[in-house]
Homo-oligomer: A and B are copies of this chain.
Amino acid sequence: MGNFRGHALPGTFFFVMGLWWSIKSILKYVCKKQKRTCYLGSKALFHRVDMLEGIVIVIMAITGIAGEQFIAGGPYLTLYKEGQWNQLPGWHHCTMYFFFGLLGVANILCFTISSLPVSLTKLMLSNALFVEAFIFYNHTHGREMLDIFVHQLLVLVIFLTALVTFMEFFTRNNILLELLRSSLIILQGTWFWQIGFVLYPPSGSPAWDLTDHSNSMFLTICFCWHYALAYAIIGINYAFVTWLVKWRLRRLCPSEVGLLKNDEREQESEEEV
């Protein structure tokens, strides 16, 4: 996928995924806080959504693998041809997609077979990310300095996401860890776009000088700005979802909203102790 679209596609996927996970986490958190007063988020609903998520991930993974393999000029499932390896970068991408596919399968299994522990999905996500980081780390042999640098930053963010997910595997239901993971996934998504713009500028733009160190120094802070953007998105999400839940609550059970407010304050003061 050595072109702009090949980086924009996974970028969009990760961006949407991060956005969706942040919304889900916030919704769960807000609903749990207010479950004593009004019925809003049912457990069964969340379960069905998780399973749907799994199905979507599996479909995306299969699409990704098929796209890599059967695109015009792709490897067409041939690994070794005429005495040399056949389009290894494409196979690298397929392997990454495959491990995300495994995550989707684990998601589906966890919410169909009751005896499986739920944290399996976290472990599989962490695994898929570690594998992705590992492959990208060995992906850029012999390329230009700036090409290697942007991929190193990608490896950094993927590795950190994998670490945070692995921590989530141990400490369940920590809203801040979940949002941290979401923000890192969003960062990965927008960074894929950035890589696309740097390495394959869309028609019209001049190419970047891949050996200029001032470019790498700019991309260092650019990476941080992407991160700040991810934070802003999460923040807006939080404000919006909280407002939405309160607005729906007021419509559904207006008499209890006053109670709810008191309730919140009590909870808060309990936590402070």
A91 CB contact (under 8 Å) in B95, B175, B213, B221: B221
The 8 A CB mask of A120-131 against B (1 = contact, 0 = none) is 100100000001
What does DSSP make chain A's interface, helix, strand, loop or mixed?
Answer: helix
Question: For the complex, what is the distance from the CA of A115 to the CA of B26, rounded to whole Å?
Answer: 12
Cβ of A180 under 8 Å from chain B: yes
Q: What is the 8 Å Cβ interface bit string for chain A, positions 149-180, against chain B (1 contact, 0 not)?
A: 00000000000000000000111000110001
Mark out the residues of chain A between 47 and 68 whose CB falls within 8 Å of any chain B CB in the assembled complex.
Answer: none
Say whether A114 faces chain B, with CB atoms less than 8 Å apart. Answer: yes
List 20 extra interface pairs beyond A43-B272, A135-B221, CB under 8 A: A30-B115, A33-B115, A84-B214, A85-B214, A85-B217, A88-B214, A88-B218, A88-B221, A95-B225, A99-B224, A99-B228, A114-B264, A117-B175, A117-B176, A119-B176, A123-B180, A131-B224, A134-B223, A134-B224, A135-B224
Q: CA–CA, A242 to B114, complex, Å?
A: 12
Q: Per-residue CB proximity of A130-141 to B under 8 Å, as 1/0?
A: 010011001101
**14 CB < 8 A contacts A-B:** A85-B218, A91-B218, A92-B217, A102-B231, A114-B265, A115-B242, A115-B264, A115-B268, A117-B176, A118-B271, A120-B176, A131-B227, A141-B216, A141-B217
Residues in chain B near residue A131, CB distance under 8 A:
224, 227
Q: Could you tell me the distance between the alpha carbons of A117 and B267 in the complex, rounded to whole angstroms? A: 12
CA distance A53 to B146 in the complex (A): 40
Q: Contact at A268–B135, with CB atoms within 8 Å?
A: no
| Total chain A interface residues with beta-carbon distance under 8 A | 52
Q: Which 7 A-B pairs have the closest CB atoms?
A: A138-B220, A114-B268, A95-B221, A88-B217, A95-B224, A85-B214, A85-B218
Contacting B at CB under 8 A, from A171-207, are: 171, 175-176, 180
CA distance A139 to B224 in the complex (A): 13
Q: Does A98 reach chain B (CB closer than 8 Å)?
A: yes
Compute how far the CA of A118 lies from the CA of B271 in the bound complex, rounded to whole angstroms. 9
| Residue A2 CB within 8 A of the other chain | no
The answer to whether the Cβ of A258 comes within 8 Å of any Cβ in the partner chain is no
Which of A123, A220, A272 has the most chain B CB atoms inside 10 A of its CB?
A: A220
Residues 215-241 (chain A) with a chain B CB within 8 angstroms: 215-218, 220-221, 223-225, 227-228, 231
| A142: chain B residues within 8 A (beta carbon) | 213
